[in-house]
Amino acid sequence: MRRRLIVGNWKMHKTASEAAAFVHRLAELAPAVGATGSTERVEVVLAPPFTALHAAAQAAAPSFPFTLAAQNLFWEEHGAFTGEVSAPMLKDLGCQAVILGHSERRQLFGDRDEGINKKIRAALRHGLRPILCVGESLADREAGLTESVVTGQLAKCLDSLSADDLLKLTIAYEPVWAIGTGRAATVAQAAAVHETLRTVLATGWKREAGQQVRILYGGSVTPENAGAFLASPQIDGALIGGACLDPHSFATILALAQALPA
């Protein structure tokens, strides 16, 4: 059984002091809504902006452990790359994971599959677990291209990775049209794409590796719809944007995940 994974992608929200206050509040709320001991059945990942990573790590309480993730990195280790942050820098701050290839990075900042592949390999070299985002646009979906777009992204982003590398990876299927729109995919739509992705992983790498990789759904996940996504056997967790910023709604989603049968 793959352990469920809930990722809160804060995007460009929260200062360092707001991050510390949020983590304290979440640690208070999560036990009250049933997430105590959640690390056994549910892994919680928090992905603050770079500037709040340290504050979030410092605010962690033993009663509410979480995995610290960054939202991006640059593939070189150091050098003349103004404005960029490298994998060893993130590792040194206490990060264990990193979101890569998010559609906002692809759409607004020009991230391409080839560069995302370099970022994934840099993350793996430095012991950071990549959370790779893939997803089709509305035009792709309407043209019947969903499968070919997401499997194409997967193949290019994972090019030359070994089956062992794959074990350290998480995939997030995030249809672009569902992100921040309030229009989530249906569970059936998400589950169908997850099955396709898992088949590609299992055939392109190794059967067991393909079976062990967790595939998350992301795009307008809320406390209201999270239970249905998480109950699907094809969906191993959720990548949450808007609904992770409020400690009550994020804690509610964690409690839903925790309450589901293993």
Residues belonging to the active site: 102, 174
Please give the residues from 1 up to 60 whose contact with ligand PGA meets the rule CB under 6 A.
9
Closer residue to ligand PGA, CB minimum distance, 181 or 199: 181
With the CA atoms of 111, 113, 114 and 120 taken in that order, what torsion angle do they form, in degrees rounded to the nearest 10? 90
Beta-bridge partner residues of 100: 132
Binding residues among 170-189 for ligand PGA as defined by CB under 6 A: 174, 179-180
Torsion from C-alpha of 15, 21, 22, 26, nearest 10 degrees: 170
| Interacting residue with ligand PGA among 241, 252, 254, 258 (CB under 6 A) | 241
Q: Rg for the chain (alpha carbons), in Å? A: 17
Among 239, 251, 253, 254, which residue sits at the site for ligand PGA (rule: CB under 6 A)?
239
DSSP state of 47: E
**Range in contact with ligand PGA (rule: CB under 6 A) among 18-26, 120-128, 156-164, 241-249:** 241-249
For ligand PGA, the closer CB: 6 or 87: 6
Kindly give, in sequence order, each residue whose CB lies less than 8 Å from that of residue 82, ignoring residues fewer than 6 positions away: none
Where do we find the tokens 């994934």?
120
Residue with the shortest CB distance to ligand PGA: 241
* Torsion angles phi and psi, residue 45, rounded to 5: -120, 130
Per DSSP, the chain holds a count of helices (H) and strands (E) of 13, 8
Nearer to ligand PGA, 223 or 241 (CB): 241
Give every CB contact of residue 20 below 8 A, 6+ residues apart in sequence.
55, 56, 58, 59
Q: CB of residue 197 vs ligand PGA: minimum separation in angstroms?
A: 16
> Whose Cβ is closer to ligand PGA: residue 190's or residue 243's?
243
- The answer to whether 240 contacts ligand PGA (rule: CB under 6 A) is yes
Residues that bind ligand PGA (CB under 6 A): 9, 174, 179-180, 218-221, 239-243
